[in-house]
Structure 1
């Protein structure tokens, strides 16, 4: 009762999924950095995800790993699985007993699959969007999920969505492999909400800003001081001069917002952080 896509670019591995099912992110996505990604759905047996990843870690390509995992499963014709290994080998299985419309599209480095869909156009749209979207793997996965929903998605409606992308040492401060891991467990517009939460994740945690999208502290000192004053971090009237007190207030605010990994050691501010600060300041009326 789900549509999903698993993919890799040879470095990142990930899964994006949406469904008229509560907390779909708890059951469908499985991934391991430098190994691969799996989606287990349609009368899902989540334990198959771990089995398939273990087989791929042991050297099996995606198809072999899925076939071996399903072989002893008496309910395999009710299962739907998409899998991709880190080498880009992708495979999908749609059991004959999966509720209509059920099907999949497999391409280079990805597999899109779904059941109880509006029609085959859902997975076809996902595949086209994935192949057309530029950027990182996460951008391609989100684009595919949005395209699937636009094409009709789960014909029963909407409820939850999730996005998982792993990158070796790509997580917070380089301490984990979790590049992106967000879920919407129950929402009337889960894919749109997933995109909204991703923007916050990206601003707070990802270091992929456009290197040209920066502003000079001396050029925006007055605006920053006013925003910080409204937010309670700068405690005097703006001077328009970026001094030690302004720097301290800015860093205090950045820590409050969990932007410590977005603090630069030069005389610049990331444009994304600057715009967010001004927006937050405008929301406070004094």
Structure 2
């Protein structure tokens, strides 16, 4: 039904994830992240958003991704129908795939990377996602988009794709949370949305809002004049 990738950028300390599925609203169902904890992807035929939050809680308390996944999944009597992957702030990874998950279903790990999928055309999808992320250049978010495209090209969700999402977090940046909830071309739409969100007036405005490292930052009057906008509670509209 879904393939996802969670990553940590060792150079910047930023964390991120991306996912795509043949169903609706993959961003809301699958991806979770906190800069104090790490990233999670909870998916499957009966995905648990509770798992996604609980594994972040466990990692924030100091457990590794692998231990957190084990602690969250073990008590769940419905776990056979679910899949969970997690990434902690050291780049450690963990995953669980329930025995009733629809094949092809599996996970892949590399330093600071975990990829999971179910109901895939084949496990080659996971290998393609990993290879594309590792081979790509540019920022973490750009590499995540390249990884999703490689997964689609390698066979994708066996039903095709209807939704896609990207989530990137870091102490020095505003959250980048982009979702395409329903589309006949979700990856192309996600790439177009990403381009609008990371260029032009919107990106300039996002560079001025609070971050964990600068929690009281705010645009000045000079910044608003430079952006050619009057101060607004919700920021300038995308250009």
Higher RCO by CA contacts (8 Å cutoff, separation 6 or greater): 2
1:183 is displaced (CA, Å) by 0.4
Query: In the alignment, is residue 138 of structure 1 matched against residue 134 of structure 2?
Result: no
1:139 is displaced (CA, Å) by 1.8
Other structure's SS at 2:138 match: coil
Other structure's SS at 1:134 match: coil
The structure with more radius of gyration = 1
User: In the alignment, what sits opposite 2:5?
Assistant: 5
1:135 is displaced (CA, Å) by 2.3
Other structure's SS at 1:255 match: coil
Q: How many residues align?
A: 212
State the alpha-carbon separation in 2 of the partners of residues 254 and 188 from structure 1. 35
Other structure's SS at 1:87 match: coil
After TM superposition, the score normalised by the length of structure 1 is 0.70
Tell me how large the CA RMSD over aligned residues is: 2.3
Stretches of structure 2 lacking an aligned partner (at least 5 in a row)? 205-224
State the alpha-carbon separation in 2 of the partners of residues 136 and 104 from structure 1. 24
User: In the alignment, what sits opposite 2:48?
Assistant: 45
User: In the alignment, what sits opposite 2:100?
Assistant: 97
1:169 is displaced (CA, Å) by 4.1
User: In the alignment, what sits opposite 1:189?
Assistant: 185
Which of 216, 232, 255 is matched with 2:229 structurally? 255
After TM superposition, the score normalised by the length of structure 2 is 0.83
CA 1:137 to 1:34, structure 2 compared with 1: closer, same or farther past 3 Å?
farther
Whether the 8 Å contact between 1:34 and 1:167 is mirrored in structure 2 is: no
1:199 is displaced (CA, Å) by 0.1
State the alpha-carbon separation in 1 of the partners of residues 138 and 37 from structure 2. 21
Whether the 8 Å contact between 1:13 and 1:34 is mirrored in structure 2 is: no
Deviations 1:80-118 (A, max 9, x none): 111110100012221221001111111110111111101
Other structure's SS at 1:141 match: helix
Instruction: Map 1:61-210; keep pairs closer than 5 Å.
Output: 61-171=64-174, 178=175, 180-203=176-199, 204-206=201-203
State the alpha-carbon separation in 2 of the partners of residues 56 and 111 from structure 1. 15
Larger helix fraction of residues: 1
1:254 is displaced (CA, Å) by 4.0
1:253 is displaced (CA, Å) by 7.4
Whether the 8 Å contact between 1:38 and 1:83 is mirrored in structure 2 is: yes
State the alpha-carbon separation in 2 of the partners of residues 114 and 71 from structure 1. 20
